[in-house]
Amino acid sequence: MDRGWALELLHANLKADNLRKHCYATEAVMRRLAREKGEDEELWGLTGLLHDLDLEICGDDMSVHADLGARMLEEAGAPAEMVEAVRMHNAEGLGLGERNAAFHHALAAAETVTGLIVAAALVRPEKDLAGVKVSSLRKRMKEKAFARGARREVIMECEAAGFELDEFLALALEAMQGISSELGL
Ligand SMILES: [Fe+2]
């Protein structure tokens, strides 16, 4: 398992540019979180990169999303921890109950906060990440109508992963700013 392998697998299965960017953003956030906590950066990062591997195959069917991706990863020889985390990021849709591991909470919160941060960049006149501030993200968190798809209760799972909200927002923003050219923001 290395990044080249993961990218090849991702690109073979996800063609849409916006979905690929969502995956790159999730990877960057997961790497940053892992580094902060002394976790396995490669495992966390590549799990972030691959978590939505099946999205174009599943379409809108959330009752199979992530389970199919987990099977695809299993077949490709991914480690069991990655397979499980991918499955658990859609625990609700798959009827798997509550997430209960820091890694799983981190993935759910990370992939969700990317949507909030992208939306916060896009409402700026410059449409860039450079000018987004943690304070504005915190305000946006409270605006229910803003980036509605970025479910706030899932972002709040950062706490179960061991991060205060402000710290989590700062780390996620920093991580995404670090790959702004890849994200085109
Ligand atoms: Fe995702």
pLDDT digits (tens, 9 = 90+) for 41-70: 999 999 999 999 999 999 878 899 999 999
Q: Specify if 183 maps to a domain.
A: no
Question: What's residue 60's pLDDT?
Answer: 79
Domain count across the chain: 1
Among residues 108, 82, 84, 102, the alpha carbon closest in space to that of 36 is found at 102
Question: What's residue 1's pLDDT?
Answer: 81
Locus of tokens 């397979």: 83
Q: How far is the CA of 23 from the centre of ligand 1 (A)?
A: 7
Q: How far is the CA of 126 from the centre of ligand 1 (A)?
A: 25
Q: How far is the CA of 26 from the centre of ligand 1 (A)?
A: 7
- Residues with Cβ within 8 Å of 17's Cβ and at least 6 positions away in sequence, in order, are none
Q: Specify if 185 maps to a domain.
A: no
Centre a 10 Å sphere on the Cβ of residue 7 and count the other Cβ atoms it contains: 17
Q: How far is the CA of 85 from the centre of ligand 1 (A)?
A: 12
Q: Specify if 87 maps to a domain.
A: yes
Q: How far is the CA of 111 from the centre of ligand 1 (A)?
A: 5
Q: Specify if 74 maps to a domain.
A: yes
Q: Specify if 55 maps to a domain.
A: yes
What is the rounded distance in angstroms from the CA atom of residue 53 to the CA atom of residue 47?
10
CATH code, 79: 1.10.3210
Structural domain that includes position 146: 3-178
